[in-house]
Chains A and B, each alone.
Chain A
Amino acid sequence: MKYIDEYRDGRLAKDIARQIAALADPGRSYHFMEFCGGHTHAISRYGLEDLLPANVRMIHGPGCPVCVLPIGRIDAAIALAMRPEITLCTYGDLMRVPGSNGSSLLKAKAAGADIRMVYSTLDALRIAEAELEREVVFFAIGFETTTPPTALALKAAIAKGLGNFSIFCNHVLTPAAIQNILESPDVRKLGTIKIDGFVGPAHVSTVIGTEPYEFFAGEFQKPVVVAGFEPLDVIQAILMLVRQVNDGRHEVENQYIRAVTALGNEKAQAEVANFFELRESFEWRGLGEVPYGALRLRPQYVAYDAEKRFSMVTPAAKDNPACACGAILRGVRRPTDCKLFGTVCTPDTPMGSCMVSSEGACAAHWTYGRFRERARQVDVGRAVA
């Protein structure tokens, strides 16, 4: 497969792994956070941890839009979908996200709500055009990557004069969340783990560029390498981070030069800026309130804002108090440190944000990596014996 196989070359990966092992100072440890669930997925699916030396550890961050959507927003979407005049259009991976009391959009659909799985914003627009008697709401979610398509859907709806189309906006922003991981009240409460650098998501940077991370890297003195999602991309980014740490540098580097530039896609940014503005604060499941961590529709588009149009209420809803997602997302604890992991909390019965989508840290460990836990236990057993 052209442009895929080249990035999954096992021999090249082993070469890079050897370089990492040679460069990694045995007298110290390296902790890198991959912010994005896409990277977490790649690391787990390709067993990348097995290629890294023991003193280079990857911490799985909060970067999955499905995982970080708070329960209250799911409850609000379910309540809206249960209204008889509403057709709620949503991406498939939101369907199973648990709301309060074991509810989900999948269960609401089974109970009679008109919920349609769509693959793009245009599918939702098509439904609105075809069913003018229905109120069609698009459940918009995602990072900077999926925001431009939502903006374009809104632009098209306005141009077509579609009065029955609106957006429930849950778009969130990457740089604000990365900053929150290092600097928030929870950090004092949970404690911190040393993070020596970040792997930044390439798809986000195809839109925003690498420039928004410059302030962050300078202010917190943490290197950032923007990387693609193929396993070779990720391991190369790790090598670049090890080099920066060894050199005492904290720069923003671009591993994904095949698509990412410093300034990104300025046309897409302009479309987003036309229709959206920053929310002062937005709750991220597992992280709590993140200042300027999300977008909402600008006031002039209130007619297309489902929250205003249908007077939606976001009920206060808390995660299970035993859930350790907040600490896991920050790398303070591992998935297996959580009392709920693998007992009441599995991908079939997710309790916290890290288990909700396949890209969450706990779901990735459960689905792909839990055999390592047993190997660790065996090692500990041998050491004790």
Chain B
Amino acid sequence: MNMMIKAYRRKLDVANGRVDLSHGAGGRAMGQLIEGIFHKAFDNDWLRAGNDQSAFSVPGGRMVMTTDAYVVSPLFFPGGNIGTLAVHGTINDIAMAGAVPLYLSASFIIEEGFPFADLERIAQSMGAASREAGVPIITGDTKVVERCKADGVFISTAGVGMVPDGLDLRSDAARPGDAVIISGSIGDHGVAVMSKHENLEFDTDIASDSAALHGLVADMIAAGGAHIRLMRDPTRGGIAATLNEIASQSRVGFRIDEDKIPLKPEVAAACEFLGLDPLNVANEGKLVAVVAPEGANAVLATMRAHPLGSEAALVGHVVADDNCFVQMTTSFGGGRIVDWLSGEQLPRIC
């Protein structure tokens, strides 16, 4: 007997509907928009695989290409700005395929009236981030739109990289028994940005975790490449969205332990105050790795030896589950599901 309750997905009303904020929040609505409009229009095998990048064969090996758009408010926040996010985010999307990032592009959509000083600050920090990562920005584009037609500046970056020989990380590769490892504390980026959000400012020492992860990934592959099934950076939607994505793509479930998930007390306090679940809060310098059980300890030890993985933790395991549920043992000893976010995560009234 199939006991799975199949969730109804309302068809996108292309004729009459409009894009609303939930379509950009990283939840089901966004997936529906991407499937209903972009995948439908661009349909091909690479997109259908549902990765954050696509690997393809070129003479001399396998290549990865990815693209991403960055809109964040405020543009500057503790630990970074929209420019550093654009560099780190694209490098990380390439790195999650186990690939070595090689080159980046950057497109800017700038609102009329945007101060040069802010633009220079963003560009300078992007340059520094790309130099530090060893991944140059080799092409770009600039457009200016009328006042009120953009929110200061939007940045779109693309990147390419090469996959090491013999490595093939796929989003459908998680198997029951595999270990789930998180590279460090969750929710830092989302809380840092919220702490500077208009109308929501609060004092916290938390800075964004924005960072390029390809060095950490290279070490992990060197230590346990054959055992790493897949990697994903849990950005918008947090680790809840990432684990649900992997679960549905690999047709498995997860069982994780709340007590083992690294979480800074300040982040926990801010989430408590705002009524948010840290599992849904964005990260920009963390990764989730699914690793075959025999390689888990080696990969974990290697991660902990790297500055960006010093707080890495084994937080749970992949389990067989037709329903693809992500289940968690709570710090209180009970059980619960960790679900996708519905729409945007918003502070509760009371």
CB neighbours (8 Å) of A158 from chain B are none
B15 within 8 A of A: no
A259 to chain B, nearest CB (A): 14
* Given pairs A4-B272, A348-B9, 15 additional interface contacts (CB within 8 A): A47-B336, A49-B334, A65-B349, A65-B350, A91-B347, A92-B347, A95-B21, A106-B20, A109-B20, A145-B350, A342-B5, A342-B7, A346-B7, A346-B8, A368-B336
Check if A93 sits within 8 Å of B349, measured CB to CB.
Answer: yes
A136 to chain B, nearest CB (A): 15
A367 within 8 A of B: yes
Check if A378 sits within 8 Å of B265, measured CB to CB.
Answer: no
CB neighbours (8 Å) of B268 from chain A are 1, 4
* 10 residue pairs bridging A and B, Cβ less than 8 Å apart: A45-B277, A50-B333, A93-B348, A96-B343, A109-B21, A231-B332, A345-B8, A346-B7, A371-B327, A377-B3
B150 within 8 A of A: no
**Considering the chains assembled together, what is the distance between the CA atoms of A111 and B5 in angstroms?**
34
Selected from B6, B9, B342, the residue in CB contact (under 8 A) with A347 is B342
Closest 10 CB pairs of A and B: A47-B334, A92-B346, A347-B342, A50-B334, A46-B332, A110-B20, A342-B5, A110-B18, A368-B336, A47-B335
Check if B333 sits within 8 Å of A14, measured CB to CB.
Answer: yes
A143 within 8 A of B: yes
Which segment, of A77-85, A115-123, A238-246, A326-334, faces chain B? A115-123
Residues of B within 8 A of A (CB): 1, 3, 5-10, 18-22, 27-29, 199-200, 265, 268-269, 272, 277, 323, 325, 327, 329-337, 339, 342-344, 346-350
**Considering the chains assembled together, what is the distance between the CA atoms of A45 and B164 in angstroms?**
42
**Considering the chains assembled together, what is the distance between the CA atoms of A366 and B338 in angstroms?**
10
Check if A344 sits within 8 Å of B8, measured CB to CB.
Answer: yes
CB neighbours (8 Å) of B28 from chain A are 348
A146 within 8 A of B: yes
A359 within 8 A of B: yes
Check if A119 sits within 8 Å of B347, measured CB to CB.
Answer: yes
Check if B332 sits within 8 Å of A141, measured CB to CB.
Answer: no
A134 within 8 A of B: no
CB neighbours (8 Å) of B334 from chain A are 46-51
Check if B5 sits within 8 Å of A370, measured CB to CB.
Answer: yes
1/0 contact string of A344-382 vs chain B (CB within 8 Å): 111111000000011100000011111111100110010
1/0 contact string of A94-133 vs chain B (CB within 8 Å): 0110000000001101110000011100010000000000
A203 within 8 A of B: yes
A343 within 8 A of B: yes
Asked whether A95 and B10 contact (CB < 8 A) given A342-B5, A368-B337, the answer is no
Most buried by A among B10, B268, B272, B343: B343
Interface residue ranges of A39-67 to B (CB < 8 Å) = 44-51, 65-66
B212 to chain A, nearest CB (A): 31
A142 within 8 A of B: yes
Question: Size band of the A side of the interface?
Answer: 35 or more
**Considering the chains assembled together, what is the distance between the CA atoms of A110 and B349 in angstroms?**
22
A299 within 8 A of B: no
CB neighbours (8 Å) of B10 from chain A are 348-349
CB neighbours (8 Å) of A197 from chain B are none
Selected from A48, A203, A345, the residue in CB contact (under 8 A) with B332 is A48
**Considering the chains assembled together, what is the distance between the CA atoms of A342 and B8 in angstroms?**
7
CB neighbours (8 Å) of B350 from chain A are 38, 65, 142-143, 145-146, 203
Check if B8 sits within 8 Å of A343, measured CB to CB.
Answer: yes
CB neighbours (8 Å) of A173 from chain B are none
CB neighbours (8 Å) of A372 from chain B are 335
1/0 contact string of A1-22 vs chain B (CB within 8 Å): 1001000101001100000000
**Considering the chains assembled together, what is the distance between the CA atoms of A373 and B327 in angstroms?**
13
Q: Which residue of A lies closest to B346 (CB)?
A: A92
1/0 contact string of A169-213 vs chain B (CB within 8 Å): 000000000000000000000000000000000010000000000
Check if A110 sits within 8 Å of B337, measured CB to CB.
Answer: no
**Considering the chains assembled together, what is the distance between the CA atoms of A12 and B77 in angstroms?**
40
Check if B337 sits within 8 Å of A367, measured CB to CB.
Answer: yes
CB neighbours (8 Å) of B7 from chain A are 342-343, 346, 348
**Considering the chains assembled together, what is the distance between the CA atoms of A109 and B343 in angstroms?**
15
CB neighbours (8 Å) of A143 from chain B are 350
CB neighbours (8 Å) of B29 from chain A are 348
A165 to chain B, nearest CB (A): 17
**Considering the chains assembled together, what is the distance between the CA atoms of A81 and B321 in angstroms?**
45
CB neighbours (8 Å) of B8 from chain A are 342-346, 349
Check if A1 sits within 8 Å of B349, measured CB to CB.
Answer: no
CB neighbours (8 Å) of B327 from chain A are 371
B254 to chain A, nearest CB (A): 11
Q: Which residue of A lies closest to B339 (CB)?
A: A367
B342 to chain A, nearest CB (A): 4
**Considering the chains assembled together, what is the distance between the CA atoms of A4 and B333 in angstroms?**
16
**Considering the chains assembled together, what is the distance between the CA atoms of A1 and B347 in angstroms?**
20
Selected from A4, A358, A369, the residue in CB contact (under 8 A) with B337 is A369
Check if A51 sits within 8 Å of B332, measured CB to CB.
Answer: yes
Q: Which residue of B lies closest to A203 (CB)?
A: B350
